[in-house]
Chains A and B, each alone.
Chain A
Amino acid sequence: MAPPAAHRSGSNKRAQLGLFAGYVVAGSGALIGAVLLIISLVSPQTFQGLRSMASDLAAPAGQAGAVGRTQGRSFFEAIAGYYDAGSKNAELEREIEIARVRLAEAEALRQENERLKGVLNLASGETEPVAVARLIGSTSASTRRFAYLSAGREDGVANGMPVTSPMGLVGRVLEAGANSSRVLLLTDSESLVPVRRATDDVVAFAEGRADGSLRIRLINLGINPLEEGDIFVTSGAGGMFRPGVAVGMITEITPDGGIAQLLSNPAATDVVIVEPIWQQPILDGIEEVDVGDAVD
C-alpha cells in the first residue's frame, strides 16, 4: 500500500517538523531500550518486580489454559481408550518409566544413606513440599528457558527453591511473584546443577543447553567413565538441591563428559512440587559470614 501523505512532507515546514519529531521520539525510545537492556544485562534482577507483576496479571489465564491442557489430554486419552487398547499400555508404561527413575533414585538414596550414616551418623527426614502447582507457560519464543509457575510468595514460594516433578528435577524458582513465579528450567544455558552418577560417586555439573538437553561436565577429568544410559542425580553440593533427585540420562559421550536427556521433561509434567532450599540455614550462615567479612 502506498504511504500516507504525511510521509511526503514536501516544502511544508510543519509537516517536516512533525516527521522529524517522529524520528526523534522513536530514536529516543530505542535509546531508552538500549539503556534498559544494558542495565538488565548487568544486573538481571533489576526489573524483577515489574515482570512478576505482569506475570501475576496474566497467570489466571495461563492457569485456565494449563487446566484445559490437562483435561483436554485426559479427554482425548479417554476417547483413545475405546479405539486403541494400546493407550492403556501407555499409562502403564509411564508408570514403569517413573518406577525406573524411582529405582535409580532409591539406589542413589541408599548409597547416600550409607555414606551419611557411616560418616556423619546423621538422619534427615523427608522434605515437606512448600507448594504444589502447575507450570502455566514457558518462554517458548526466546532462547532463554523460563517457565511460569502458578504459585508465588502467597503460597510460600521464595527465590531459589527447587522445583521437581515425580520424574525428577525441573528447575529452580528465579523470581517469585505474588501468585505466580518464574522458574529457571534445567535446560537454560545459565542453569548449572551439581550432579553425581546414581550408581557411584562420579561428580559432575549438569549445564543446560538451549536445545532441551543437558551437558554433563565431569569435575575430575581423566578417563571418561561415563556410559550411555547412566542416570545422574543431584549431589546436594552447594546446598540448594537436596541430593538424590533424578536429573538426566546420558545419551551421548563427549571427551569431557556427556550429553544427557532430561528425565523430567517439563512439557509432559502437569503438576510440579516446589521444595524448600535444602540447606537453607547453612546457606544463610555462609551469606552472613560473607557479609561479616565484607564489613570487616
Chain B
Amino acid sequence: MEEKGAAPIDSQQLLEHLAQVEDVAEEILTDKQKLIDLNHHWNQTREAMRVLQKDKSDNKQWVCMGNMFIKMEKKSTSRLIEKDFDQTAQEIAKTRTELKPKLSHIRDLEHKEGIKGFHLQPLSKTEIAAINELI
C-alpha cells in the first residue's frame, strides 16, 4: 500500500461522499420508476377515454373508484378522466425535466465528465429535417 503514496483518505469523508452519491442515485432510480408508473397510468386513462368515446348507447356507466363501483354520468366521467389524463402528462413532463439536473449532478459527484450537449435545446422539426439529410 506504500506505493500509493497518497495520504490516507478520511474514512468519514469517504463514507459521506458515498452516501451522497447513493442518495442521488436512489433519487434517479425512483424517478425512473415513477416515469414508468405514470406512463402506465397515462396509457390506461387513454384507453378509458377511447372506450367512452366509442360508446354511444347508455348515458351512465360504471366507474371504479378505489375499490368501489359507482354509476356516473358519461359527461362528467369523461371530464374527470380527461383532467386526470392531462395531469399525468404534465407530471411526466415535469419528472423528465427534473431528471436531467439530477443526472448531471451525479456525474459531477462521480467525477465524470458531463455529457456533451446535454443542456442544449432541441432543434425544431423543420430544422432537424434539413439537418437529417446530412446525418
**Does A pair with B?**
no
